[in-house]
Amino acid sequence: MSNESYRIPQDVDAPIPIFAWEMTEVVVAIMVIGVGIIMRFFIPGLIAGILLMMAAKKMRAGQKRGQVQHVLWRMGLRLDPLLGKFAPRPMRLEYIR
């Protein structure tokens, strides 16, 4: 083995964002737009989806990675059933500070 040291980026395992948003935020916005289409409120659904994406970006600013998913999980939206088995409890509030 050589004595060379390597620098590994801190976000090497970070999920790939879609434009400036995490996948969780995009899925929730698409769900809101989809409900708007189903209920024949395409324009209000589109506006609500865009506002949701903007609010999620502001809410995520300065927070830890995965904070939006944690808040949605705490509100009762189960995005990933396996998350309950391997992730911390959703009512643990010290995750958000």
- d(CA 21, CA 16) in angstroms, rounded, equals 9
pLDDT score for 46: 93
| Contacts (Cβ under 8 Å, ≥6 apart) of 17 | 23
- d(CA 80, CA 77) in angstroms, rounded, equals 9
| Contacts (Cβ under 8 Å, ≥6 apart) of 77 | 28
pLDDT score for 39: 94
pLDDT score for 27: 86
- d(CA 22, CA 42) in angstroms, rounded, equals 23
The pLDDT averaged over each successive group of 10 residues in the chain (97 residues) is 75 76 83 93 93 83 73 74 62 57
Domain borders along the chain are: 23-95
pTM across the whole model: 0.55
pLDDT score for 89: 63
- d(CA 55, CA 82) in angstroms, rounded, equals 27
